[in-house]
Structure 1
Amino acid sequence: MDGTARQLAVVTAAADVVEAELVDDETAGTSPVVHTGRDRHLSPETVAAIQASVADSTRRAYGADRDAFTAWCTKEDRTAVPASAETLAEWVRHLTVTPRPRTKRPAGPSTIERAMSAVTTWHEEQGRPKPNMRGARAVLNAYKDRLAVDKEAAAQARQATAALPPQIRAMLAGVDRTTLAGKRNAALILLGFATAARVSELVALDVATVREAEHGYDVTLYRKKVRKHTPNPVLYGSDAATCPVRALRAYRDALAAAGRTDGPLFVRVDRWGRIAPPMTRHGRVIGDSAGRMTTEAAAEVVERLAVAAGLSGEWSGHSLRRGFATAARAAGHDPLEIARAGGWVDGSRVLARYMDDVDRVKNSPLVGIGL
């Protein structure tokens, strides 16, 4: 053998059969790289930039999961990072049997999945190898099986109820569109549906980013999850009561009459129909000083109108986005065009699930077989 070192490299692996071969190690004999303290340093500004790349809701949830995991490890005299496979398996079992304070029931599978992801990414963020989750995954799978056998509601992942046109008509029937708040709520519901927007994307819109066009409006939304802008043409509806163009125009005219021609599109409105002043706490302004609605406030509009209309289901801000995908597919539109319009990533499993909800009936093998 020459001076070049040889190492074992896995070529393919299938089932229990592994093929391998010896390959030249081009790095053999070279001096290892030694990083200095400066090489490992991140400035506060860079740390903040990295943190800003993650959605606020995800960051808060991951932070809570990591804190809970650390507290459990401390109580059990275990090491949180790096965590052993045994520690992770025991922790997941703990989550499946320990009631949570708010619900008095153990966490559901999706909540545990998120917690596992929080701990896994925590290791990676600290430069640690990805932990072995095989045992933890087996415990979670057994938990899913038990929930299904026991017919527990938590066995199935909760999904927002799709806000389809009939439900939207019912939600808007009780809205007083003579008021600024009523005009805002109608525009929020219809524009959210027409653009398949997340409520966080809706409240981020400014008056200047909504432009009139011959077909109605052009609205460009920044889809943070895929980090791209999507231009969305908003077209006239056939029913004046659910036409997003008419609703948006009425709301923009009301905003202008109230002296707002720039700044955030969706703003807080107080009980007297005035654009709400900045919120303060201990004399300091909190939230958006221009009165921009929060994501939570926009979602609450959807939930409140659905409840007021007597609609059953799991209503949330995401109901508009799911409703768009479901209705568009039921109308025969191409999944690729639906994905592009709504800012879904290629091959999105979430969007595929919405498609399945429609296609499993339309394309069922039972259709047309003569029963």
Structure 2
Amino acid sequence: MSGELERARQLPAEIRTAWAARYGTDAAERLSAAEDFADAMKSAATPPNTADTYTKGWKVWQRFCAEQGFPELEGSRGALVAYVAWMLDRGRKTPGPGGVRGYAPASAASHLTAVVVGLRDPEAVGATHDPNPVSKDAQAEARARLESIATRLAKAGERRGRGKAPAADIDNLHRIVASCDDSPTGRRDLALVLTGFHFASRASEIAGLLLADITTHARGIKVAVVTGKTRRSVRTVAVPYNLDEPEICAARAWQRWAESYGTADQARPAFPRIDRWGNIGGAMAPDSVTVAVARVAQRSGVPIRWTGHSLRSGLATEGRKNGKDALVIAKQGGWAPNSKAMLGYMELADEWDDNATSGLRRTGR
């Protein structure tokens, strides 16, 4: 407990003094330690990729403030609007495609969120300043200006950012099956792609899986996703055997990989790194998963470059094509039932079949 009390002494003196006067010294020290414990719990509950995004976004804000001579702890309406305009005009350190110095609108929106979070909660961005929340009106105006500039860029024909990840599809999954050999790397790659597709995985979710998280059952496998980004994405989902198209059966691909990999140590990563000589290492990082998916797809002759997120968007798209209910798709992928992201993926399937102009014919005759 002594270590907790030492950390607790970092609280403002006036708070400790007020607690001591009201409850006594011992109780005040315990309340201080509880504050430290609450901070630690909050930190543990924040996904690493979210924390990393906030930290990177805060650094962009610091760079803007230094360049413009603004105090970085003041998120006023004018400062945030100026920040948005700066990001979209020349915020990047190095030029992007076509020499563009401005961020893509989606990236600018993410960096704006980091500022709002960082001013309110310094620890979320690795800072130590006192909290200084941003007003809702200031946030709203900055986001409105961002949307306005983004619309103007789109009208001018300027496209920034990568856009939506191309969706994995059944035809190209068959191509991947045909290109993966029976080596440990081939088995791992195939199991990674097929398993990831069938539970609509993010790259970070695949990277976080352990052997203990994937279990075999009479009708297929179950995947326990414990590193999900949101409350809904922490889930356990069933992936049944594919009796209609066994070539792309994720359960069988997983079992073949697990058989060659070995399952005695359930604490090992489900999908480890494998070097060019076949040596098996530790867990893959999310970026490594993205690289692996892109590499496997390219080797298989998939015409559009897949990313780690292609597996996630692919299940929503293919599920919709096959008539699956939106609630069923949402449960499998860990989306909220009205998720804009999921509905956007499903629109890729609906834009031709569920189209206002599809099948139009004369009536009344």
Same fold (TM > 0.5): yes
Residue equivalent to 1:347: 338
Q: Which residue identity does 2:356 align to in structure 1? A: P
3-state DSSP of counterpart to 2:361:
coil
RMSD after superposition = 2.6
- 1:274-325, Cα deviation, whole Å (9 max, x unpaired): 323xxxxxxxxxxxxxx12222212211011122233343521111111011
For the pair 1:137 / 2:143, whether they are aligned, the reply is: yes
Residue equivalent to 2:276: 271
Residue equivalent to 2:41: 49
- Identity among equivalent pairs (%): 26
Please report how far the alpha carbon of residue 221 of structure 1 lies from its aligned counterpart in structure 2 after TM superposition: 1.8
User: How many correspondences in the alignment?
Assistant: 321
Residue equivalent to 2:224: 220
Residue equivalent to 1:119: 115
Check the 8 A contact 2:271/2:284 in 1, yes or no.
yes
Please report how far the alpha carbon of residue 37 of structure 1 lies from its aligned counterpart in structure 2 after TM superposition: 4.4
Please report how far the alpha carbon of residue 186 of structure 1 lies from its aligned counterpart in structure 2 after TM superposition: 0.5
Check the 8 A contact 1:110/1:157 in 2, yes or no.
no
3-state DSSP of counterpart to 1:36:
helix
For the pair 1:209 / 2:213, whether they are aligned, the reply is: yes
Q: Which residue identity does 1:163 align to in structure 2? A: A
For the pair 1:253 / 2:259, whether they are aligned, the reply is: yes
- Unaligned runs of at least 5 residues, structure 2: 1-12, 20-30, 122-129
Please report how far the alpha carbon of residue 362 of structure 1 lies from its aligned counterpart in structure 2 after TM superposition: 2.0
Distance 1:314 1:350, change over 3 A: farther
Q: Which residue identity does 1:57 align to in structure 2? A: N
Check the 8 A contact 1:160/1:316 in 2, yes or no.
yes
- 1:196-246, Cα deviation, whole Å (9 max, x unpaired): 122222232222232221112222222522335423222222333312122
Structure 2 Cα separation of the partners of residues 355 and 44 of structure 1: 44
Please report how far the alpha carbon of residue 272 of structure 1 lies from its aligned counterpart in structure 2 after TM superposition: 2.1
Structure 1 Cα separation of the partners of residues 32 and 168 of structure 2: 48
Q: Which residue identity does 1:67 align to in structure 2? A: K
Distance 1:41 1:81, change over 3 A: farther
Structure 2 Cα separation of the partners of residues 90 and 37 of structure 1: 39
Higher Rg: 1
Please report how far the alpha carbon of residue 262 of structure 1 lies from its aligned counterpart in structure 2 after TM superposition: 5.2
3-state DSSP of counterpart to 1:162:
coil
For the pair 1:298 / 2:302, whether they are aligned, the reply is: no
Check the 8 A contact 2:203/2:289 in 1, yes or no.
yes
- 1:29-80, Cα deviation, whole Å (9 max, x unpaired): xxxxx97147796766544432332222222222122122123213322122
For the pair 1:191 / 2:195, whether they are aligned, the reply is: yes
Q: Which residue identity does 1:189 align to in structure 2? A: V
- Single out whichever of 330-339 and 131-140 deviates more from structure 2: 131-140
Residue equivalent to 1:31: none
3-state DSSP of counterpart to 1:140:
helix
Give the strand-richer structure, 1 or 2: 1
Structure 2 Cα separation of the partners of residues 64 and 172 of structure 1: 38
Give the helix-richer structure, 1 or 2: 2
Distance 1:85 1:359, change over 3 A: same
Check the 8 A contact 2:317/2:349 in 1, yes or no.
yes
- Unaligned runs of at least 5 residues, structure 1: 1-33, 277-290
3-state DSSP of counterpart to 1:232:
strand
Residue equivalent to 1:77: 69
The two structures have a TM-score, normalised by structure 2, of: 0.80
3-state DSSP of counterpart to 1:133:
helix
Residue equivalent to 1:232: 237
Q: Which residue identity does 1:107 align to in structure 2? A: Y
Check the 8 A contact 1:191/1:244 in 2, yes or no.
yes
3-state DSSP of counterpart to 2:280:
coil
